[in-house]
Chain A
């Protein structure tokens, strides 16, 4: 009797095709207890005793098969579980010692390369760090030195030829030098910065004046060679460059009128660059 045949052969016609397989065996056994209606008197039919006996046989047979199927299903599941537990496949063969040795050697080579790369990068990073720290220290020392010198000069003589721009002392880091308090040093630094700006503005004015002289001389000699607009710019274009807050001292004086030889004094002896 096949699986499909079983339900069809039951007189009750129960065919729980979609039911859970495990439960199906039990359903079948229950359905098989169905009784037939007794045929009316005088109607011809099978011998009732025989039918009952056959049904009893069918019932026990189906019950046995259902039980057997449940047992088999459980066994399959158990086997499947153990197969999964064993690595999803029948246990693979043990590799030979030779294969293990070859893979081990390859792994060691790889490990060595990684270790070498790491130690190389460690070396580089350490060196770079040292260099970075040295440079930083050096820059700090230089900055300290500049601030100290500036403080010293500012304390000694007014008007040191120093442009302290770019030296930005961190708040409160200036150590007292030459008996000055940090506040005094700070003041000096501010003064020197302003002084530096003034010097720069003055120098620019002077150089512009010089250029104008050159052009004036040149223009006198060969007016056609002058670039367009030079002569007009001389009047309107000399405001650029100097910081608005620091009026360029001595600008007028620096503007050359005679085109004579010019010397810029940058030695620091004079407070302002002058033309001699």
Chain B
């Protein structure tokens, strides 16, 4: 089975291209479930399949992956009825690209796929107590800089999400393109979520959310994914380092600490290129004045005219140390996150007490890119 998958995988883009064309011709009703451009979808399909095939001998690892996939596919409108259709097209694709295809192989693949589909369907059914997706109305949309907007969205039902977790977002302006965003907290008592969106040049979803979406528009949100930022069972003080877009989970973390048991101090470093990049500083100052345990230090790297501390974020954080007695949460672009983690651990902070979250423009990383397809 591995050999026949390798043959299909070796065909590169041809194999998923064949698969989707076969699926859409055989079941035209599935086409509207996918975006216009299928280029990235094809990558996702085979990376997901590759993951499954790689783990096929390790059921303990495979089953949670499949369950996650099954749950995640609910938001796409996937029904149990779609799985056999996909299975048939998958088999047809493997058959097409394998000269040595025979009855026995077909039976093995069909059995394996049935198992995969069953695990996914069962996981999806088990999650049926929560909505497959949340319709959320944009209630505030503030453009904070030339390319950053802060949105407040009101889901139709409470959407449970913890600091550090991400939710996937789809807008009607870019149908079927889902992107992950870490909300900057949930507002009490209405449960509105705050989203920070930076428009990336050429990014279809980010630019639509940051620049084109308006108050009253509807978004679709998927369930929360990922690990919560707060280490379970820890009551240590916190060091929170947020570079650029990492500010959203940092704010959520502050809110979560505020809602938790008192006595935890938080020092939040918000890094940006220049003053304009500190797009949420007034709100951070407000939080700082409300919470005596919170210290906010903005840091700009290009401080030509800035009144804030100037310097390289990781270095500035280190200078304010030592931080060895704290838990650390570091979020932002790859360079700043990796450098900060490196410096903190070199200083003696145990690595397991450092949570790192890298944010990258869509498609180049797992954090913000669309999720794998079935």
Contact = CB atoms under 8 A, between A and B. Distances in A.
A209 B39 CA distance: 75
A97 B37 CA distance: 22
B25 A129 contact: no
A63 B223 CA distance: 52
Nearest to A101: B21
A125 B21 contact: no
Q: Which of A87, A97, A115 has the most CB of B within 10 A?
A: A87
Contact of A129 (B88, B92, B146): B146
Interface in A94-114: 94-95, 97, 99-101, 103-104, 107-108, 110-111, 114
Interface residues of A, number: 36
B37 A99 contact: no
A260 to B, nearest CB: 50
B143 to A, nearest CB: 14
A111 B38 contact: yes
A114 B36 contact: yes
Given A122-B201, A125-B202, A170-B305, A114 B25 contact: no
B204 A118 contact: yes
A238 B24 CA distance: 81
Contacts of A40: none
Nearest to A122: B202
A111 B24 contact: no
Contact of B39 (A88, A92, A115): A115
Given A85-B84, A95-B26, A111-B39, A104 B17 contact: yes
A200 B249 CA distance: 53
Contacts of A111: 37-39
A119 B202 contact: yes
B22 A110 contact: no
Contacts of A104: 17-18, 21
Given A103-B24, A104-B21, A111-B38, 6 more contacts: A85-B84, A87-B81, A118-B202, A121-B207, A125-B199, A125-B207
11 contacts: A85-B84, A91-B88, A95-B22, A95-B26, A97-B96, A100-B25, A107-B21, A114-B37, A125-B202, A170-B305, A172-B307
